[in-house]
Amino acid sequence: MSSIPLITENQIKEKIQELAGIISSDYPGGLTACGVLKGAFIFMSDLVRSLQVPASCDFVKVASYKGKASSGKISLELGPSLPTEQKKILLVEDIIDTGLTLSWLKDYFSKRGAEVKICALLDKPSKRKIDISPDYTGFTIEDYFVVGYGLDYNEEYRSLPYIGYLKE
Residue 143: active-site member: no
Q: Which of 46, 58, 97, 123 is catalytic?
A: 97
DSSP codes joined into one string, 122-157: EE-GGG-SS----SEEEEE--S--EEBTTB-BTTBS
User: Cβ contacts of residue 85 below 8 Å, gap of 6+?
Assistant: 112, 113, 114
- Report the C-alpha gap between 65 and 106 in whole angstroms: 18
DSSP 87: -
Choose among 4, 5, 77, 16: nearest CA to 46.
Answer: 16
Sheet hosting strand 2-7, strand order edge to edge: 2-7, 163-167, 146-147
- Which has the closest alpha carbon to 147: 165, 129, 134, 125? 165
Which residues have a catalytic role annotated? 97
